[in-house]
Amino acid sequence: MHVMNITPNQLMTGMIIADDVYSSTREKIVAKNTILNPKTISKLKLFTNQEIPVLIPQALAERMAAENPELLHANKIKESLDFKKFNKQYQKTIDTIHSVLDSLMDSPEKTLEQEQMLSYIKDLLVESGNSMHTFDMLHCMRDNTDLTYVHSVNVALICNSIAAWLNYSPEDTKLLTLAGLLHDIGKKHIPSLILNKSGELSDEEYALVKKHPIYGYQMVTEFPIDNRIKDAILSHHERYDGSGYPRGLSGDQISDFAKIVAIADVYDAMTSKRIYRESVCPFDVVATLESDGYSKYDPQFLLTFLKHIVQSYINAPVLLSNSLIGSVVMINPDHLSKPIVKVGERFYDLSKEKDLSIRSLL
């Protein structure tokens, strides 16, 4: 718990006084470590109008959120008609894409119904309204079972948004979206026991998983689809600094489609719930990508992505590391993972509050 200075009107039962509180005449009103109750709160309101240092236990923060569901961004979205329609279409799309991707493994005709597959993604985009709203919807879907086809649909949606931000043509947008949808198709050749393993992979298991880009490329190499899609399947784990696989490409050796799919892939993977961990807060993901992402991902694409993704969380309620609940009101362009958060009537610039951060979206 972090110490927080708040006004007497913001005090709540269960908060803990972090330091002795004195009146204007230097008389001690409440001692350090006192757990606030209605009586002590009334006393403090009566004898002081100064800010008071408090600690807010996690249990209290969770209760505050539970008792104020109107504050919860996710709750408001899930209760909306738009989300219910999106969720229905999302589940339908997952089932359909699952069937289509499975059938590709045994397809003797080497055909791929591109327009049919893209039509389901288009229907999802219509339900979400716009690219910013798409991320709202996906944030509410993060508890889905971590299956390859769920991830593939998410990456396709994210790629479609990135294409819009980059002002891609309608045709290139369709192709990039399809690249996102097919990027992990090679995992169909990886045993599900390995893909869904809850513990750490052995060296042999990890070596097998790393072959999925090659397996995927081999599956589609004879299909009549754009070569940029095929290359994205093969190269979406290559990294700008040469640290990726399977070929260890770097810089401009990696195609634009592969670079973009790589960003969408890692963002969805990190913000989704896994068997072996909970989902990671989007602002933590942005912080990670800000700190070491520019060496691993093409800066021009990564910066565009990060600038737009944080904008999608303006006005979203957040739980801070000091257990206070606030809302994101402004983005710091030089510190995208550290926005300005409003708590009550007070503003906290997280780029200057070094010990304060966003714990989670609400």
Q: How confident is the model at residue 341 (pLDDT cuts 50, 70, 90)?
A: very high
Residue 325: what pLDDT?
Answer: 79
Q: What percent of the chain has pLDDT over 70?
A: 86
Residue 276: what pLDDT?
Answer: 56
Residue 113 has pLDDT above 90, yes or no: no
Position with higher pLDDT, 300 vs 200 = 300
Contact (CB, 8 A) for 167 and 181: no
Residue 132: what pLDDT?
Answer: 57
Report d(CA 326, CA 279) in Å as an integer: 21
Position with higher pLDDT, 136 vs 217 = 217
Position with higher pLDDT, 102 vs 13 = 13
Q: Which range scores top for mean pLDDT: 146-150, 244-248, 283-287, 320-324?
A: 244-248
Mean pLDDT of 4-9: 78
Mean pLDDT of 78-92: 80
User: Left (φ > 0), alpha (ψ -120 to 50) or beta: where does 97 sit?
Assistant: alpha
Q: How confident is the model at residue 142 (pLDDT cuts 50, 70, 90)?
A: low
Report d(CA 37, CA 15) in Å as an integer: 8
Residue 229 has pLDDT above 90, yes or no: yes
Mean pLDDT of 131-160: 75
Contact (CB, 8 A) for 362 and 65: yes
pTM: 0.78
Residue 70: what pLDDT?
Answer: 44
Strands (DSSP E) found in the chain = 4-6, 16-17, 21-22, 28-30, 52-55, 317-320, 325-332, 335-343, 346-349, 358-361
Contact (CB, 8 A) for 29 and 39: no
Residue 69 has pLDDT above 50, yes or no: no
Report d(CA 254, CA 248) in Å as an integer: 10
CA angle 59, 60, 62 (to 5 degrees): 65
Position with higher pLDDT, 232 vs 78 = 232
Residue 247: what pLDDT?
Answer: 97
Report d(CA 136, CA 83) in Å as an integer: 9
Residue 32 has pLDDT above 80, yes or no: yes
**How do residues 275-319 score in pLDDT, each as one tens digit?**
655 677 888 889 999 988 899 999 999 999 999 999 888 888 888
Q: In whole angstroms, how far apart are CA 65 and each of 41, 213, 318?
A: 21, 43, 10
Residue 118: what pLDDT?
Answer: 86
Of 62-76, 98-112, 195-209, 230-244, the range with the lowest mean pLDDT is 62-76
Residue 357 has pLDDT above 50, yes or no: yes
Strand partners, 17: 54
Residue 216 has pLDDT above 50, yes or no: yes
Q: What percent of the chain has pLDDT over 90?
A: 37
Report d(CA 205, CA 83) in Å as an integer: 38
pLDDT mean across residues, the chain = 84
